[in-house]
Amino acid sequence: MSDAAPALPHGKRYLTIRQTSQAYPAMTESSLRWLRFNGDTNGFNRCVLAVGRKLLIDAEVFERWLEGHRDGQAA
């Protein structure tokens, strides 16, 4: 597995749930929604920008959040 970050669509920083799951295939839409639902306890809420009902994932913050979970370390 490559350590290179996935190419984001058109260099966008903010991605929808669907775009995030496409850019990071290991993360399904369902798993991202579960992370959001439990975001107060797992820290995922800092990755999410809510605009009305639309949820956007900040790709840069999301990658830092993922890195914080490397080797079982919580961020």
What is the C-alpha separation between 36 and 53, in angstroms, rounded? 13
pLDDT attached to residue 11? 65
Contact 68, 74 (CB under 8 A): yes
The domain segmentation of the chain, as residue ranges, is: 12-72
pLDDT attached to residue 4? 54
Q: Name the CATH code of domain 12-72 (choices 3.40.50, 3.30.420, 3.90.105, 3.30.200).
A: 3.90.105
User: Which residues pair with residue 9 across a beta bridge?
Assistant: none
pLDDT attached to residue 42? 94
- pTM higher than 0.85 for the full model? no
Kindly give the confidence (pLDDT) of every residue in the chain, 75 residues in length, as a single tens digit, with 9 standing for 90 and above: 445 555 655 567 999 999 999 999 999 999 999 999 999 999 999 999 999 999 999 999 999 999 998 876 665
What is the SS3 string spanning 15-64?
ECHHHHHHHCCCCCHHHHHHHHHCHHHHCHHHHEEEECCEEEEEHHHHHH
